[in-house]
Each structure stands twice: as structure tokens, then as C-alpha cells.
Amino acid sequence: MSLLVTTQPRRRLSPWWTSAAARDRQRLIPPWMAVGLGVLVAGGLALTFPYRSLESRIARETRAVDPLRIEYLRLWLRARPEEHGLRMLLARQLAEIGDYAGARAELRALPRDAEPQAAARIALLEVDIGLREAYALPPDDPRRARLFAELRAQLDAMTRMAWPASMETELAERAAQAGAFDAAAFWHERLLARDAQLSANAWEAAARRMAALGASELAARLYFRAQSVATRRDDKRRLFVAALRTLEGAGLYDTALAAAEVQLGVLGNDTATLEFLTRFALAANRPDIAQRYATRLLRLSLAPAAIAAWLARFAAPVPGEWLALLDEPRLVRAQADDAQPGERLPEPKLPFDDRIYTLSYEVFLANRNLKDALAVARSAVRQAPGSAAWRLRLARVADWTGNAALALEQWHAYARLTDDEAAWREVRTRAPQVFDYARWAEALQRELRRRPDDLDTLRNLVQALELLGEPDRAIALLERHRSGPHRREVLSLLADLAERTGDDALRRATLQALVREDAGNVGYAMRLAAAEVQRGDKAAAFAALASVAAGASAQDEHFWDAYAELARQTGREREAIRAYRRLIESGEAEERHYTALSELLERHDPREAAALAAQAYLRFGNPYLARRTLYLHQRAGDKAGTRAFLARLTDAQRSALARDAHFLHQRALFEFADGRPAAALADARAALRLEPDNAEFRALVVWALVALRDAPALRAILREWAGIAADEGELWAPFAAGWLALHEPAQALRYLRLKIKTSNDPLWWLNYADALDQMGEADAAWRVRRHAWLALRSTAQAADDERLREAETRRVALAQAFAPSDAARARMFALLRRHRDEGGADAAARDAALGYWIGRGAAEIAQAWLLAAHANTLERPAWARLSVALANDDRAELDALLDTVADWLPAADRIEAAQRAGRVAVAQTLAFDRLALQPANDDLHRRLVALTTAAPSYAGFGWNDLRQRPLRERAWIVDGVGNVSQRLQIGLAVHDIARESTDAAQLVDVPATERLQSLWARYEIAGNGELRAQLTSRDGFGTGVGFVLQGERDIAPRLRLGLRLGFDDLATDNALLRIGGRRDTAGATAYSRLSQREFAAASFEANRYASLDGGAVGRGRIARIEAGHLVRTEYPDLTLRATAADLRYSPQAGLDARLAALLPPAARALATNAALLPASTTQFGVGVALGDSARRVHSRAWRPWAAAALLHDRTTGANTEWQLGIGGSVLGADRLEFTAAGGSTRGAEAAPYRQLGVRYRWLF
């Protein structure tokens, strides 16, 4: 067998679940797809057969409770007691069948240490069991109340425990069911605070529960929360209204309205909501809030208008009911704006809804918002024009808003709609008030048809037709009623209408018919007279009045008034006087009748006119009548009557008249004429206090001050009123008089020029000449005076001897007379001529002038003063006293005049008197002040120069910087001057000078500093000369003391000579000599004022130069001449000068070693003394100076000056020099100066230079 069996290789067998062909098999799907299909299948099975716990399945299957299932649960729990959920389910089902004890037993079997969620559900289930048990008992069962009390306590305790959020809703519901108010409120507040995500129904149910418990505010909040969750607008509105109703039920109206504004939200555009809110606010007595909602409600009405405008913009079809909304585009724009407090609502365009419109109207009225109520009513009327109710509403609200025209329009429309008599009466009343004469006429025509014989209606209709511009209709109407029962009244109306329409013929015919029918009617006669006056026939008018005068009674004052006026106008003064007397005698006369009669009597008997004016004043108390009484007494020359009238016044009347400015002025004029200027001044000032701007009162004050010679008060008044005097003609005369009295002609000339332009009286020319004379313009004054006196002579030639004798014999009486005339004027001029020719007393001339002009106001008093002033100018007794005192050098008399009448002395004489009396400071001040006032007065100018050339005492300091190659000097200066006596003056000066060389090729080894100290004395010689001595010590390059003596004296009226001697004096000819040189000098000067504007001067000096060590350097002589012309003498004065100078220097042989040390070594070797002296030369020049006087004269104002010159030097050729400066007062009694100078040469030094300086002096 073994031979038969062939040995084969052994094969390894695979497991049964494998196959040899596995490696070769193809896959149908990839692995990931297989996994995905498996997941899908598993998900589908899970959805089809979801997993439920046993508890959920049993609960689902045992919704209907039956004993079998309860037993099943008990058996199950015996087998598996750990199923706590099933035990709770069992307890719930036991409670449902009423086995509350078994239910509680099951709950007690549950473990108390369960998780929080389970413990919470156990506690909640205990509450549910208790609620079921309590509600199962009858209401009257005591156990029920006990159970509820226990439940409430349990629920209150549960509020202090932590609960899952998901169970708070159930807790809130259980608390509400148990009546646990605090717990229910707590859990509902928790729900609101947590913003629990509940449905609108759940929130609404909660709100109802809390409302049932009486928690109105919380219930409202829950409603509002439900509103916010709700999605449908109707639900939101319902919940919103429920919330407000809940608060309304609790009486919380304010809270409800405030909450409504916050919670309104999208309902703000809901018409039903806004209407509810409007009514709700009205019910809450808050019309202001109701108005706001009503405004929003009406604004919503504009939405259709906006849509209509949008459709129209794109040419889309617009609904017919919206077309009317396009007529007011501004309302379309306004609809987008929110209503603001106080904003006025535009007229709504809502298609008319009587309910909404009525509500809005009532709201606006309740809130007293009449304008918006008006807008609503107007819109309603426009859309429902046939609505009588809305017409009436619009009429009333238009009336309340003051829109009378609109009110009338609506009353008229209402009257037409209803034919209501009251409405037509409103139209008749209102139409004339708004000038709507057409409606007035319509209403009157209706009334006249109803009552054709009513005269008032006829009269009003005539007026309405006339105002409508239809007088013809009115005339025709009156003609139709002419034969009626009121014929005379109708004719009177017709006459008036004819007068107004200009139909004079109809008017006169009608009035004549009336006069014929009623001959004794004064009124018709007066109207006919008025018609004749308008026609221009005053005689016929007077005849019409005269025809009924016999029957006129004394009580017909208007008739007698017209009669008197026509009599006066037609030249029948007797009839006029008779008529006025009859009026006065009847006791019915008015004030104007007294005045008119007084004016008629004034020309014939001014005394009776004055008495009548006094009687009228005592009766009526009008201050004008008192003024007129004074005027008439003064016109009649009855001073006794004036005094008697003033004495008769009571204290009350005097007090009242003291408040009447014009009475005070009239009384002041009387007092002035009576020789009592002080009393006149008091009354004039009192009048001016009452009327501060009255120029006539101001003028009288000035005249009184002039008469009293009260210079300080007069000067103060003139300065105070200077700003207004130029524009007030009444003040020209007194101001000219005042300034002339104060001897300030420059001020007076201003007003005199104004016055002579408006007056040709020679007296004004004479005073104008006096003012010019005082100003120093003698030639012009002579020409003016000659013209004036020629005019006076021609006037005198026109006067006869009788007038001259009368003026002479009655000059005192004329001073008291108060009735001037042309004859009196001629006598006055004759008197002036006689006093001029015969040298009579000036008092008589003054009395004559006062007698002529007194009592005629400011201008007349001006004439009186001017005459008196001119007489003083001719004789001047005070001036005579002053002239004698000056001639005799009587110091006592001069002092007396200066102390008593100084202000009334001429300025020049007063200055001279002060100077003679030793009052130099007073003289200087007077001269300065007067020259400021009269800058053209050459005499004052000369006096001031003479007074101020004697330098005043002062203390000062200065600084100077001079730079001229090869040297620069900077100096500080302190100086002072004191007046030891009127003639002796002593001064001291210290100069600290810092020097440095600016060119080492010319100057070396310059000492850095040098101090100069000077002491000098000046003595005045007899007022026309002076002597001056000076000592100067120096310490710098060397030391030394110099002495200078010089003097000047006037040897002729226009010639002044001077001499000068100096020993070891400062040498300033060049830089080397300024540093280390000195000189002995002798010189002379001469100055001549050839005329007022030309002058000439010459000087010569001889010098001997030496160094400070005494070494001789050389000699020099300098001769100068100068001539000039003053183009202008007053500042800014202008001077032209021409100069010539010859400068000669001769050196001493050799070289002074001391001065040579200042030369550079290279120049020193070959130098001689010639190098130390300036070069000889000859110079010619011309120059101009502007404002040069400002350097010498103290001025309070800052005044600049400048000078420039062109020089020709024989050595260096053409050169220039210039100088600028400004000086003035800083504090008043001081002077500060700034100067700058420069040029191409300076004296004998041919090198450019620049100089700056500052100087300050305190004058004392």
C-alpha cells in the first residue's frame, strides 16, 4: 500500500468562516457608507420606538384613575420600593380619588434627603394634596378655613427656600389658589424679575390671579408683560386695556396714565388704543394728557395724506377720498413729527369722523387748548359744511380764541342754516366790530324787514351801506323812509349822509328844511351854520345862528361857543365878547371860554384880561391860567397886580404851581424884572429840574448867574452845558454873555458868531468886537466896532429930541416898564448914543436896557445883558482901580482886587496883577490856562513865555547815549533845581559817563568812566536880565574844577546881550578834548527880535585849550550868525533858519604828552598838537524846525518836535543834521522827554553821529 500512495505536500486548512476565495471577492460599498447606513437605521428605530421610563409609561397609561391601576402601582412598589417617581404618582392618584391620608402616607414613605429637584416636587405635591382636600370640603366647614390657613403658612415658608426656576410658575399658581397673597406676590415678582419665558396666556392667567387677590399694580404689570409677549395687535390692545382697567379699578389713575405712556409701544399708532387713552385721561381728570393722546390720534389722520402724497409723486392712482388731503402739503410733512408739549396741532385732514372729532374737540376744550380745538373745529366744518353743530362749535371756540372774523363767519353760516334769531343778533353785534359790513348789512336788512319802523336799525343799515361804499343805496333807503313816523330823524340822517358824501346841495337843502320845520331848534341851526362854514360863507353861518339866538338859552353853551367863535372870525368882537360873557355869567362856561375872552380883552384891556385869567385859574386850577395871569400883568406893567395875585394863592396852589416848570419860569422873569435875580435863579433852577432839556430855562439860569456875578457857578454851568449849547439857539446869547463876563472871549466868540448870523442888532456886533479885542485881534475888532457904531448913529439920527428927553427922564421907569414897543427901542438907542457922547453913568444905560428887554424871555434878557456889558467896557470902574494900582505898584489894592473881583477882571491885567503881587505861581497858571483858551492871543503868549522862562524848581534824571566815531558815551544824569527866592535859583547836577573807543586806529586807552558834578546859581536882575555862576568838578581821565560866569540883559526892547567867562571849563570840540581837555573861554552873544516873526542872533567866543594836567594844546575862536523867520508862532510852530559859522583852531607847538596817550602808538610818533584839535573850517546852512517851542514850554499834552538842517562845510562838503523829540506830562506836574538826533557832522567834528536821550523832571 505504501508503494501505491504518493506522498503530497501538506495543506493548511482555513477556518470554516473563511474561504479561499476571500481575497478575490469585490466590495459592494465602502466601509464609511456602511457605517452611515447603520446610524440611519438605528435613528429610525429610536424614533419609531422611543425609550420611556416605567414611570412615564405608567403615567401615560393611567391618566384615568381607577382602583385597579392604583393596586397595580402598590404591588409594583412593594417589589421595587426605590421607584420614587411611581410613589409620587401613586400619591397624586390617591389624592384625586379623595384618599388624602393615603396620599400623605405615600409621601411620608419618600426619603427626605432626596435631591433638591425631587424634594421640591414632594413639597409641591403636598400643597396640591392640601388644596384638593380644602376645596373638597364645604365652604362652611371649619376644617376648610384651617386647611387654607395651614397652606398659606406653608406657602409663605416656601418663599424662604431655594426653588428651581422651572417650578416658580407652579408655586405662584398654587399660592394664588390658596389665597396666600404674600407668597403669590412674591413668586409673581420673581417671575417678572427673572423675565421668565412664559406665553402670553400664562402671563395673562397670572395677572388675573393677582387681580383676584387685589394686587392691582402687580396684576397690571403682569398684563403689561403679557402685552409685550403677545404677537397679535388685538391681543396687545386687549391686554393693555386690561392693565389700565385693573389700575382704574383700584383708583390708581395717575399710576395708570404713567404706565400707559411707558408701555404704549407699538400701540402708539393704534387708533382704538389712542381713543381709549384719550377717554381714560378725561375720566382721570387729566385733560392735559388727554390732549396729548388726542393730538397723536389726530396726527394718525395724516397718514392717508402721506400715502396720497407718495402715490401722487409716482403718478399712481390716488383713492378719491384721499384727494382732498393733498391741498395742504405741510400737514403731510408734519405727520412724521411727534407731538411735543405745547405744540399747536395743524388742522387735521382725517376723513370726517364725528366721534373722533368730537372727542378731540372736547379734550382740547377741557385742557383749555383753544387753538387746537379751533383747528379741529375748522377741519370738521370744512369737511362737513352743512353741520350746524360744528358751525356753532367753531363760532364759539373762534370767539374764545379772539378770532373775531372767523367767529362772525361761523355765526353767519349758523344763522343761515338755522335762521336762529339769536344767531342773527350775534351777526349784527359782531359784524361792525370786525368791519365786515356786508354781513352786517345783510343782518340789518333782515331785521328791518321784520321791524320796518325801527329807527336804530335804519340808522345802522345806513351806516353799513355807507361803509360798504354804497352811499347811493343808503340815500335811496332814507328817501323811502322820509315820509315815515320819524321824518325829522330821517332828514337829520340824510343831512349827515349828504355831508359825508360831499353832496353839499342835498345837505343844505335838507338842513334848511329842518330849520323851517323847527324854527327854534338850535341844533339844526348849528348844523346849517357848519354847512355854510364848510362852504366858505361864514357870514351866512353867523346869520343862521343869529336867526335863533333870541331863543337860545344860557344852557346852550355849544351854541354860544359857536356863536362867539363865528362872531370873532367875522370881525364882530362885541358879539363874541357878549357871547363869552353870557357863557361865563351862566356858570356853564368852560376853561377855554375864559381863555378866549381873555385873549379878546388882551388888546383892549390887559388888566381885565389878567383879572379874568386869575378868576379862571382860581376856578379851574390850570397852571396855564396862572402863567397867563403873570404874563398879562407884566404886559400891562402892573407889578402890584402880579404881587397881589401871587399873595392871593393858597399854600396848596403854590405847591401845585411849584411843580409847573413854565409857571416857575414866568415868575422868574417877573422876579428878574423886579430886581431880584437870586429869587429868579432859584425859580429858574426849579423849573429846569422839572424839564431838564428846556433850553429857555437853561438860558434864564445863565442870565441870573451873570446878573449875580457868581463866577464859579457860572463857569460850572457853562462847561456842563457846553455840549448842547451849539445846537440850541436859545443858549447862544447867554453863553456868549457868560463867557464874556468870565473874560474868556475864545469861548464867547463861538456863540457870538452864531448869534450875529441870526440878528442884525448893533449891540451884538459891539460885543462881538469886544470879544475880538480880548482875543488880541484888534484890527478885526476895530472894523466890527465901526460897523456897529455906524448902525447906532443911523438909528440915533432917526430919533427925535422928544424921544431922547423921554429916555433920559424916564430911564428908571423904563427899566420897570413891561410893554416894550418900537418907539421904546428907538429911545433906548438914543440913550446909548447920549451916554457914549457925554460919558454919562453906565448905570442909566443898564437900567434902560433892562427896562426894555426885561420880561421878554431869554433873547430879551440877552439884549439887556449885552447893553450893560458894553457900557462896562466903555467905562470900567473896576479896571480903573486896577490901572491905578498897577501904576502905583499898590500891592494891597492889587491883593484886594484879586480876592474880590478876580474873575471879572480882564485876563491880561489879572495876570500882571498876580505877578506884581508876588503870586507868581498864580500868574503862571492863569497865563497857561488863558493861552490854552486863546491860542491866537499874542499878548498872552508873550506873558506866558516871560513867566515860564524863569525855570521852575524841579528834580529829575536822564540818560544820554552819544555815538560818534571814534568814541561812544553813555551818561546817567541826576539833577535838581530849587528856587531860594523869587530871583535866586540854585541847581545841582551829577553826570556818570561811561566811555569806550569804537575805532582803535584813532583812539585808545579811553578811561571807562568819568563823573561830573556841577553846582550853579542863577540870579534874576530887575526882571530883564540874569546872572549865572557854575562850578564843575570832574574825575576821570584826570581831576579838576572849572568855573563859568555868564550873564544876559535886555538893553533895548528888541535886543538882548550876553557875556560868558569860563576857567577850566569843559572842552567838547572833539573826542580827545572831551576825554582829557579843558578850556578857558570868553564870549559874547546878541539876540534881536526884529519883528513878531523875524529874529537874528550872533555870537563870538575865544578859547584856550589845555590838557587836564595843564599842558597847552592851542587856541580857537568861533563866530556864528543866524537869522530866522517864524512861519507859525503857535504850536506846532514852524521856524526857518539860516546860519553861518567860522571855526578857527591854532595848535600850540609840540605835543601834549598827556592827551597824546589817547592816540594809537603809530599815530603818536609823528603827531603834534594839531592832531588834538579839530580842523578849521567854515560852515553855511539852512534849517527848519517844527514844534520847537514844545522843548522849552511846559505842556500837559504830549507834543512832538522835529528839526532838520542842510550844512555845507568847506572841508567835508555837504552834510545833514536832524533831531526828533517828544515831551509831555505823565502825572501833571512833571515832564518826560524822549529825543533822538543824528547827522553826518556835529559841530567841528566831521564824522557821522547818533544820539538818543531820555529826561524826566518833577516840577514843584
User: Which of 846, 875, 904 is the last residue in one of the domains?
Assistant: 875
In a domain, 399, yes or no: no
User: Which of 875, 909, 929 is the last residue in one of the domains?
Assistant: 875
Give the CATH number, domain containing residue 746: 1.25.40.10
Once rounded to an integer, what is the mean pLDDT over residues 1032-1058?
Answer: 90
For the chain, the average pLDDT equals 76
Evaluate if residue 332 carries a pLDDT over 60.
Answer: no
Evaluate if residue 1139 carries a pLDDT over 90.
Answer: yes
Residues 6 or more apart whose Cβ sits within 8 Å of residue 704: 668, 672, 677, 678, 680, 681, 684
Q: Do residues 750 and 849 both lie within one domain?
A: yes
Once rounded to an integer, what is the mean pLDDT over residues 70-79?
Answer: 69
Q: What integer pLDDT is reported at residue 162 of this predicted model?
A: 63
Once rounded to an integer, what is the mean pLDDT over residues 609-619?
Answer: 84
Q: What integer pLDDT is reported at residue 337 of this predicted model?
A: 38
Evaluate if residue 71 carries a pLDDT over 80.
Answer: no
Give which of 390, 393, 376 is closest to 298, Cα–Cα: 376
Q: What is the band of 1234 on the pLDDT scale with cuts at 50, 70, 90?
A: very high
Q: What is the band of 84 on the pLDDT scale with cuts at 50, 70, 90?
A: low
Q: What is the band of 16 on the pLDDT scale with cuts at 50, 70, 90?
A: very low
Q: Do residues 815 and 919 both lie within one domain?
A: no
Evaluate if residue 390 carries a pLDDT over 80.
Answer: yes
- For 1041, the domain range is 961-1259
Residues 583-602: tens digit of each pLDDT: 787 777 778 778 887 888 88
Q: Do residues 674 and 725 both lie within one domain?
A: yes
**Which residues, listed in sequence order, are joined to residue 1025 by a DSSP beta bridge?**
1021, 1049
Burial class of residue 1034, CB neighbours in 10 A (0-12, 13-18, 19+) = buried
> For the ranges 3-17, 105-119, 694-708, 869-883, which has the lowest average pLDDT?
3-17
Quote the CA–CA distance of 481 and 1092 in Å, as a whole number.
Answer: 102
Residues 1084-1122: tens digit of each pLDDT: 999 998 877 899 999 999 999 999 888 899 999 999 999
Q: What integer pLDDT is reported at residue 268 of this predicted model?
A: 72
Q: What integer pLDDT is reported at residue 1077 of this predicted model?
A: 93
In a domain, 344, yes or no: no
Q: Is 1228 helix (H, G, I), strand (E, B) or coil?
A: coil
Q: What is the band of 1232 on the pLDDT scale with cuts at 50, 70, 90?
A: very high
Determine contact, residues 1167/1139, Cβ cutoff 8 Å: no
Once rounded to an integer, what is the mean pLDDT over residues 133-155?
Answer: 72
Dihedral pair phi/psi, residue 1098, rounded to 5°: -145, 150
Once rounded to an integer, what is the mean pLDDT over residues 711-721?
Answer: 88
Residues 791-821: tens digit of each pLDDT: 655 554 443 443 333 333 333 333 333 233 4
Determine contact, residues 688/720, Cβ cutoff 8 Å: no
Q: Do residues 835 and 933 both lie within one domain?
A: no
Once rounded to an integer, what is the mean pLDDT over residues 138-153?
Answer: 74
Evaluate if residue 323 carries a pLDDT over 60.
Answer: no
Q: Do strands 1112-1128 and 954-964 pair parallel, antiparallel, or not at all (unpaired)?
A: unpaired
Once rounded to an integer, what is the mean pLDDT over residues 420-440?
Answer: 89
Residue 504, phi-psi category: left (phi > 0), alpha (psi -120 to 50), beta (remainder): alpha
In a domain, 541, yes or no: no
Structurally, the chain folds into a number of domains equal to 3
Q: Do residues 711 and 801 both lie within one domain?
A: yes
Residue 1206, phi-psi category: left (phi > 0), alpha (psi -120 to 50), beta (remainder): beta
In a domain, 769, yes or no: yes
Give the CATH number, domain containing residue 1029: 2.40.160
> For the ranges 344-348, 656-660, 1003-1007, which has the lowest average pLDDT?
344-348
Share of the chain above pLDDT 90, in %: 15
Evaluate if residue 348 carries a pLDDT over 70.
Answer: no
Q: What is the 3-state secondary structure (H, E, C) of 903-965?
A: HHCCHHHHHHHHHHCCCHHHHHHHHHHHHHHCCCCHHHHHHHHHHHHCCCCEEEEEEEEEEEC
In a domain, 755, yes or no: yes
Tell me how many degrees the CA angle 682-685-687 measures, rounded to the nearest 5.
110
Q: Do residues 910 and 851 both lie within one domain?
A: no
**Torsion 206-207-208-214 (CA) sign:** positive
Q: What integer pLDDT is reported at residue 971 of this predicted model?
A: 96
Determine contact, residues 1220/1237, Cβ cutoff 8 Å: yes
Dihedral pair phi/psi, residue 1165, rounded to 5°: -65, -40
Q: What integer pLDDT is reported at residue 197 of this predicted model?
A: 74
Q: Do residues 1073 and 1150 both lie within one domain?
A: yes
Q: Do residues 870 and 977 both lie within one domain?
A: no
Q: Do residues 1192 and 1103 both lie within one domain?
A: yes
235-274 in b/e form (b: 16+ CB < 10 A) is bbbbbbbbbbbbbbebebbebbbebbeebbeebeebbebb
In a domain, 261, yes or no: no
Residues 1187-1217: tens digit of each pLDDT: 988 887 777 789 999 999 999 999 888 999 9
Evaluate if residue 257 carries a pLDDT over 90.
Answer: no
At 1253, the amino acid letter reads: G
Q: Name the DSSP class of 64.
A: S
Residue 244, phi-psi category: left (phi > 0), alpha (psi -120 to 50), beta (remainder): alpha
Evaluate if residue 109 carries a pLDDT over 70.
Answer: no
Residues 495-548: tens digit of each pLDDT: 787 778 777 778 777 777 787 777 667 777 778 788 778 888 888 888 777 777
**Which residues, listed in sequence order, are joined to residue 1145 by a DSSP beta bridge?**
1116
Residues 938-984: tens digit of each pLDDT: 667 666 655 664 567 889 999 999 999 899 999 999 999 998 887 78
Q: Do residues 931 and 1035 both lie within one domain?
A: no
Quote the CA–CA distance of 213 and 180 in Å, as a whole number.
Answer: 9
Q: What is the band of 327 on the pLDDT scale with cuts at 50, 70, 90?
A: very low
Q: What is the band of 277 on the pLDDT scale with cuts at 50, 70, 90?
A: confident
Quote the CA–CA distance of 125 and 901 in Å, as a whole number.
Answer: 128
Residue 757 parent element (H or E): none
In a domain, 447, yes or no: no
Q: What integer pLDDT is reported at residue 814 of this predicted model?
A: 30
Determine contact, residues 1088/1055, Cβ cutoff 8 Å: yes
Written as nine digits, the cell of 88 is 409620587
Quote the CA–CA distance of 168 and 183 in Å, as a whole number.
Answer: 11
Residues 175-233: tens digit of each pLDDT: 676 666 666 677 677 777 677 777 777 777 777 777 777 777 777 777 877 777 787 88
Q: What integer pLDDT is reported at residue 1252 of this predicted model?
A: 96
Q: Do residues 1061 and 1012 both lie within one domain?
A: yes
Q: Report in angstroms the alpha-carbon separations of 112 from 116, 118, 120, 121, 462.
A: 10, 9, 10, 11, 109
Give which of 921, 856, 853, 908 is closest to 882, Cα–Cα: 908
Q: What integer pLDDT is reported at residue 1014 of this predicted model?
A: 95
In a domain, 25, yes or no: no
Instruction: Please count the CA atoms within 13 angstroms of the CA of 397 that sit on its side-chain side.
Output: 24
Quote the CA–CA distance of 897 and 891 in Å, as a whole number.
Answer: 10
Q: Do residues 915 and 1046 both lie within one domain?
A: no
Quote the CA–CA distance of 224 and 236 in Å, as a whole number.
Answer: 9
Determine contact, residues 430/411, Cβ cutoff 8 Å: yes
